[in-house]
Structure 1
Amino acid sequence: MTRWRLPAGISSYLVLMTRPTKQGLMLLADALVLAFAVWAAYAVRLGEWFVPNRSQVLLMVVAPILAMPVFLKLGLYRSVIRYLGEQALWSVLKGMSLAALLWAVLAFMTQMTGLQGVPRAVPLLYWLIGFALVAGSRFGARWLLWLPTRSRFSGKQVLIYGAGDAGRQLAESLRRGRELFPAGFLDDDQALHGKDVGGLRVYPPAHLSTLLERFDIHDVIVTLPSVSSARRREVVAFLEHHPVRVRILPALTDIANGRHLVNMVREVDIGDLLGRDPVAADPTLLGRCITGKAVLVTGAGGSIGSELCRQIAALQPRSVILLEASEHALYQIHRVLQGVLGCELVPCLGSVGDAGLVSRLLVRHRIATIYHAAAHKHVPMVEANVLAGACNNVLGTLTLASAAFDAGVETFVLISTDKAVRPTNIMGASKRWAELVVQGFARQAAARGTGQRFCAVRFGNVLGSSGSVIPLFKEQIAQSGPVTVTHADVTRYFMSIHEAVQLVIQTGSLASGGEIFLLDMGDPVRIVDLARNMIRLAGYTVRDDDNPEGDIEIIITGLRPGEKLYEELLIASSNAVATSHPKIMKADEPSLDPEPLAALIEQLRAALRDRDEEAVRAMLMRVAGDPDCSPQTAAGAMQT
């Protein structure tokens, strides 16, 4: 143990030296090495211990004087010894060859002037010995300098993909930390290959397999904050074919002047694999329904509701009222917002189905805008609890929308789902009914000329939400599998929570009344492909017929009750028209006249009072499944 302490201490001292001091030390070491190489060449040639005369001492002194300018010109002192690569051998070989040639010319010129001659084999031996000593000294120094790092960061060295500003700042942050240590950069820019950036060598991505073995790399951090999502997806797809865990640096807008970059490195989000850029928010739309106004968020403690509250807090509302049925969830979001919200914050524990509570909140706080995110949204859970799902999603929305209409609320935004389109499950059907309720109040507002705006916004699966498949996959991967997928061909639309909430906020500003807004979400994603990507990005391999020795197996469990292979955003695609936002569309979906809708609601109430689950299920599916929402269908549902 004691044997290793001295070198480790020396290497730590050398690493802390300034750059000019290190270069001066290298020059001195090369001068001594080359002088010794001349003496050794004579000794080997003569086969005995060699004592030089005055002329030979002069030749030994001249050797480094001739070599130093050559070495400087070839960049032998620009390299960082700790990150010296095998390509440095070629530079040393060229430098030593030219230095030996110059020395040989001088040596034989001295012979012509009458000084004691030089054996012909000595220049060749000088070249060989000098090359071995100069190259050996550099690689020996590299080994010595890496000793403390190897003991401290064994198996914890990382490569950084991207040698730009963010990559260099991250490397500096990592060096000051204790968890990971940068071993080098990967970069697509050929002009940087083989060069040193911030003391780290830049390698082409094609050398990744070799680098993994040389430096014992297990992690690669992608620092490409300015590139498109499509390019980021290509990089991640390349890396996932290697046995490394991939991490990614957030966008430049999330980085505060390069500080604390290490803490901002996150695992690769599946959003980085979707191949599309996030939808940019229009600043003129964000604050129109919020700034200076009282805002109510229902379901404020849920995944969508809590993100709504965070973004609303940044838009300077007059007050924010949090309505949430879960005490724990309400406590959590209230605690988070207390530290960032500079206005009145009112936590309210209760349900949207409580008509008295909702009415008092709207009147007392003079609510101007409502974002209705409260809902039962887990498909299997709602399928197994039809009555609770209908009561909360349909009657709860009715209670809240009715109170909002009576209280003169300016803007009402219902958060709906793509599962409301031609639904095959109770959750989707109940949300379609909620849309019909909101559309009904929009009609009433238009008929009475109140100027109130009632609208809904549909989107697909939200990454990381409580209902998303992503947390489930992460949990299953952490437990070494298996990862369960319901069907090999099932596809879903995906978006981030942040993006979804920005859309919700902006739709209120775009609404005139009765619209259903939706986002251009790109192409749907196959869930089985998503599962494979998440397994690979976690550093594991998929176990299947082609790779029976893989780490984690994917099991197909079969579609759950009410689950569809694919989701849609529109009942009729021809209904979608553009808005002022380039990525937001709106649709005037079919709706019911007030009389049939009121009759259906009353019939649904009666079935719920009777606890008649089959009647409730039949009503929900019949009405929601009709693409035209025709009065005939409504009448048929009432007769049923």
Structure 2
Amino acid sequence: MAKHNEFVVTDIVLIIFALLSSLLLRFDFGMDGAFKDYAQFIIMSMPPVIIFTLSFNKLFNLYNNYWNYASVEELLSIIYSVSLSNVAFIFYSYFINYKLIRINYYRFPFSVHIIFWILSVVLLGGARFMHRVYSSSERCYKKDQGKRKLLIVGAGEAGVMLIREIKRHRELNYSIVGLIDDDIKKLNKTICGIEVLGTRKDILNICKECEIEDIIVAIPSAGLSDKREIYNICKHTNCRLKTIPGIYEILDGKHSLKNVRDVSIEDLLERDEIKLNVDGINEYIHNKVVLVTGGGGSIGSELCRQLARFSPEKIIIFDVYENGAYELQLELKHNFPEVGIEVIIGSIRDYGILTSMFYRYKPEIVFHAAAHKHVPLMEENAAEAVKNNILGTYNLLKCCNSFGVKKFVQISTDKAVNPTNVMGATKRFCEIMVQAFNKGSNTEYVAVRFGNVLGSSGSVVPLFKEQIARGGPVTVTHPEVNRFFMTIPEAAQLVLEAAAMAKGGEIFVLDMGKPVKIVDLARDLIRLSGFTPDEDIKIEFIGLRKGEKLYEEPLMNELVLDNTKHEKIFVEKPMKYSMSYVNAAINEFKKVSELSSDDICELLEKEVPTYKRDNCKKEAKSQLLMV
């Protein structure tokens, strides 16, 4: 407010100067005899000219705008204000000075008004733009030598805690240039010695003028849409972008600056927060023994974390990879000491170890996330895909039936929809087995189908990050290739929610939202890393790989899906498959070690009616010709 008052005082001085200067210029600096005739009119005109100009300045927000980042829009506001104040003064003078008071003049010569208009625009505008130049230079170059220039978004409690933490730890090597906040009342105010420079719309200008190197977004209480909008603004600054933990962790003092993390690609994904039926999930998880196959993997480990929140009696982590399972075991024991955690190392292809585990622990709920999922690798290793994904799942389904498991949940994929690759075909047959087993069993067998999960092992995000760290290039298969994505926590939460609805035999389909272009994903990751796409880090297109589609099949087909009580979960209309059909196919699949890759693909085409590998070859060829 003090700076706004300074502008009012400055404007009064400049208006008086402009008016007197215009009169002196018009009347030859007082040498013209007519100048004396206007003396009384000049004295009586000065107060209304000042009042009208200040009033129109106020009307056009010239005392509210943040002049450190003044632009053409602000200059136009000055022009409008000065023009209207001149017109208003003429009308006022005509009716008051000329008609009412009977002064000889109701206006100055037109040349005076023109000169006054020009001088007012130049002086009022010049004062503000000089303020911008001075403030910018003072703010941007007072930085400590050798320290990184930091802009903090958020001037609330979290921002204050962040400032204090940075000031306490000089070794962090930050020089805080300023704060950003959308609260107009905070503009130009100083908080902990740091000035609030502008709102989110000023971020790009501030970063450019002050050569900002790092941005920390400190608005933990803001909604997802607000955060996402700010992240999307910041990603165009080429600054390193970071954010802080949730609001409750900040207010409880559980986190310090060491917990500030990089803004991830998941933060930019347009996904709304999941609303869970906590009571429904708790009812089937609380005090139960839960088995998670592939528990050390990306989806499996997040399922275990989400399950632990509902206090099961025991979580059994079953995985062939020991390191991931061991690390998860340590994490869960630390965060959820009241939950029993067991780790079993083994393969679902080993029926003996499965039966031994089921006999010993008697799991009541089974989440099946173990699978080979890498599309190009499975094209080259079709036999292993069948052995693990189909035969391994068959072993597990049999154990669930034999040991009276209450609920079995198969983690499926969008690649099971009209599959064009071996991996998708094997997952589609798993869905067929789930529906067949459900018919003659007391176990509720269900499948949950969703698309790609950001950040999971083997996905594009870790690959892109490695390529960026090496300096590029980032490799994308095709400029138009797109995929459906969701975050790992979102996928795990919706799996738990879908399982709570299950009655048996359903294939639940999760709403994946809009598809995302992989090249856009790559560009966002490059920007988040502080580089400029196609300049600092190149993007190369390498062509579709074997078994890949240009576009994934849409999961949301209203012709084959029904709604559920959750807006993001749908259920596919059931298809009838018998156990005799499944058992006959399994007998054929057990011979895959003796078959060539082409023979295995032919067998999959026979047993999975929707599998058409030729479609993929045709699509890839046509798209490469287009490139």
Q: Pick from 362, 370, 381: which aligns with 2:377? A: 381
- TM alignment of 1:172-187, pairs within 5 A: 172-177=164-169, 178-179=171-172, 180-187=174-181
1:562 aligns with 2:557: no
Deviation at 1:482, TM superposition (A): 0.4
1:614 matched to 2:598? The reply is yes
Distance, in Å, in 2 between the alignment partners of 1:417 and 1:198 is 51
Find the partner of 1:266 among 261, 270, 273. 261
Return the alpha-carbon distance in structure 2 between the equivalents of residues 509 and 472 of structure 1. 35
Q: Which residue does 1:415 correspond to in 2? A: 411
How far apart, in 2, do the equivalents of 1:564 and 1:254 lie? 43
Change (3 A) 1:86 1:581: closer
- Find out whether 1:594 has 2:579 as its counterpart: yes
1:491 paired with 2:449, answer no
State the Cα distance separating 1:313 from its structure 2 match: 2.2
Q: Confirm or deny that 1:327 pairs with 2:327.
A: no
Q: CA deviation at 1:440?
A: 1.0
Native 8 Å contact 2:411 2:447 kept in 1: yes
Q: Give the C-alpha shift of residue 284 in structure 1.
A: 1.3
Give the Cα separation in 2 of the matches to 1:86 and 1:495: 38
Q: TM-score, normalised by structure 1?
A: 0.70
Contact 2:271 2:486 survives alignment (8 Å): no
Q: Tell me if structure 2 keeps the 8 A contact 1:228–1:277.
A: no
What does the per-residue CA deviation read over 1:518-551, in whole Å, with 9 as the maximum and x for residues that have no partner? Answer: 22221111111111111112111122xxxxxx11
Q: Is the 8 A contact 1:292 1:316 kept in 2?
A: yes
Alignment-mate amino acid for residue 148 of structure 2: K
Distance 1:540 1:359, change over 3 A: same
Check whether the contact 1:459–1:569 (CA below 8 A) recurs between aligned residues: no
In the TM superposition, residue 627 of structure 1 has moved relative to its aligned partner by 8.5
1: distance between equivalents of 2:401 and 2:281? 23
Matches within 5 A, 1:159-308: 159-177=151-169, 178-179=171-172, 180-204=174-198, 205-208=200-203, 211-212=206-207, 216-252=211-247, 255=250, 257-308=252-303
Q: Distance in 1 between matches of 2:339 and 2:555?
A: 38
Which residue pairs with 1:352 in the alignment?
348
- The one-letter code matched in structure 1 to 2:152 is I
Deviation at 1:253, TM superposition (A): 5.1
- For residues 626 and 592 of structure 1, what CA distance do their matches in structure 2 show? 14
Whether the 8 Å contact between 2:147 and 2:175 is mirrored in structure 1 is: no
Q: Tell me which amino acid in the other structure corresponds to 1:427.
A: M
Q: Deviations over 1:572-628 (max 9, x none)?
A: 54222222223222223434222222212212223x242443222112234434299
> Which of these residues, 552, 556, 563, is aligned with residue 537 of structure 2?
552
Partner SS, residue 517 of structure 1: strand
**SS of the residue aligned with 1:339?**
helix
Aligned twin of 1:585: 570
The letter for the 1-side match of 2:157 is: D
Which amino acid is 2:191 matched to?
V
Contact 1:230 1:276 in 2 (8 A): no
Q: 1:538 to 1:467 in 2, by over 3 A?
A: same
| Alpha-carbon distance in structure 2 between the residues aligned to 1:241 and 1:396 | 47
Give 1:433 deviation, angstroms: 0.8
Q: Give 3-state SS (helix, strand or coil) of 1:416's partner.
A: strand
Change (3 A) 1:175 1:318: same
User: Partners of 1:468 and 1:582 in 2: how far apart?
Assistant: 27
- Pairwise CA distance, 1:208: 4.0
Aligned position for 2:307: 312
- For the pair 1:540 / 2:524, whether they are aligned, the reply is no
SS at 1:552 equivalent: coil
- CA deviation map 1:349-369 (0-9, x unaligned): 111121121112112212100
Provide the C-alpha distance between the structure 2 equivalents of 1:155 and 1:589, rounded to a whole number of angstroms.
Answer: 62
CA contact (8 A) 1:155 1:217 kept: no
| Contact 2:281/2:500 (<8 A) preserved | yes
Separation in structure 1 between the aligned mates of residue 184 and residue 508 of structure 2, nearest angstrom: 46
Q: Residue 490 of structure 1: CA displacement?
A: 0.9
User: 1:65-112 CA deviation, whole Å, 9 max, x = no partner?
Assistant: xxxxxxxxxxxxxxxxxxxx899xxxxxxxxxxxxxxxxxxxxxxxxx
Q: Secondary structure at the match of 1:351?
A: coil
- Separation (CA, whole Å) in 2 of partners of 1:165 and 1:464: 31
How big is the shift at 1:209? 5.4
Deviation at 1:188, TM superposition (A): 2.5
Hey, what's the Cα distance between the residues in 2 that align with 1:201 and 1:188? 14
Residues 221 and 464 of structure 1: CA distance in aligned 2, closer, same or farther (over 3 Å): same
Q: What amino acid does structure 2 have at the position aligned with 1:160? A: I
Q: Which residue of 1 aligns with 2:95?
A: none
Q: Could you tell me which residue of structure 2 aligns to residue 469 of structure 1?
A: 460
Query: 1:425 is matched with which residue?
Result: 421
Alignment TM-score, normalising by the size of structure 2: 0.71
2:588 corresponds to which letter in structure 1?
Answer: Q
Deviation at 1:221, TM superposition (A): 1.3
User: For residues 579 and 410 of structure 1, do their structure 2 counterparts lie closer, same or farther at Cα, with a shift above 3 Å needed?
Assistant: same
Q: Which moved more, 1:469-478 or 1:571-580?
A: 571-580
Question: What are the within-5 Å matches in structure 2 for residues 432-447 of structure 1?
Answer: 432-445=428-441
> What is the letter of the counterpart of residue 597 of structure 1?
V
Q: Structure 1 residue 411: deviation in Å?
A: 0.6
Structure 1 portions without partners, runs of 5+: 1-84, 88-138, 544-549, 629-640
1:405 aligns with 2:401: yes
One-letter amino acid of the counterpart of residue 381, structure 2: N
CA separation in 2, counterparts of 1:500 and 1:213? Answer: 38
CA drift of 1:269 comes to 1.4
Deviations 1:168-194 (A, max 9, x none): 222222222231343211123333221
How does 1:77-116 map onto structure 2 within 5 Å?
none
Cα displacement (A) at 1:568: 3.0
Once the 2 structures are TM-superposed, how far is the Cα of residue 331 of structure 1 from its aligned partner? 2.4
The Cα of 1:287 is off from its aligned counterpart by 2.1
Instruction: Using the TM superposition, name which of 344-353 and 290-299 deviates more.
Output: 344-353
- What's the offset of the Cα at 1:412? 0.4
CA contact (8 A) 1:296 1:323 kept: yes
Task: Structure 2: state its 5+ residue gaps.
Answer: 1-67, 71-133, 613-627
Which digits, 9 at most, give the CA deviation of each residue in 1:225-275, with x for residues without a partner? 333433333222222222312222344355452442423322121122222
| CA shift for structure 1 position 297 | 0.9
Q: Tell me the secondary structure at the aligned position of residue 603 of structure 1.
A: helix
Report the RMSD for the aligned CA atoms in angstroms. 2.9
| 2:569 partner amino acid | I
Aligned-residue offset at 1:200: 1.9
Distance 1:589 1:418 in 2: 17
Moved over 6 A (4+): none
Which residue of structure 2 lines up, in the alignment, with residue 605 of structure 1?
Answer: 590
Checking the alignment, whether the CA contact within 8 Å between 1:424 and 1:621 is kept in structure 2 is: no
In the alignment, the residues of structure 2 paired with residue 253 and residue 412 of structure 1 have an alpha-carbon distance, to the nearest angstrom, of 35
Deviation at 1:215, TM superposition (A): 5.0
Question: Amino acid of the residue matched to residue 435 of structure 2?
Answer: Q
Counterpart amino acid of 2:331? V
